[in-house]
Structure 1
């Protein structure tokens, strides 16, 4: 039986990370969120894991990727070819 199925509010880092992942995808229950937040109060490593998860979620939702058009891409390739042959 894992710590997450016990009645206590203190969970292991493994369970906290699992709850964090579930929370990222809006699948965590109310009690999993409560246990996660309590764990984050005293565990620096899991706070960092949670912060990285939050950053990752934001990047995936809004990647802010800027691509160049085909003309600029061809011009860049030509400049690279010229530089490589010098």
Structure 2
């Protein structure tokens, strides 16, 4: 049985300001994934999202435990520069 391999990124940058894309990657990186691309390739499922905001609601970590997120912004200004933004 073949194991699916996540698409490898071609580059990485760090953001200077918060945006919804930064928020998205921040949530995936807290759970141990690069981004949504890696998560969906490993889990074979889309993440649960808040219907009001579209932000990720719940992610399963690689060890099987779950991260639960609020419907509002979680990535504080002090954490923005720590987030990695991948390009494919």
Scaled by the length of structure 1, what TM-score is found?
Answer: 0.22
User: In terms of Rg, which structure is larger?
Assistant: 1
Task: Select the structure that is richer in strand.
Answer: 2
TM-score (norm 2): 0.22
Higher helix share: 1
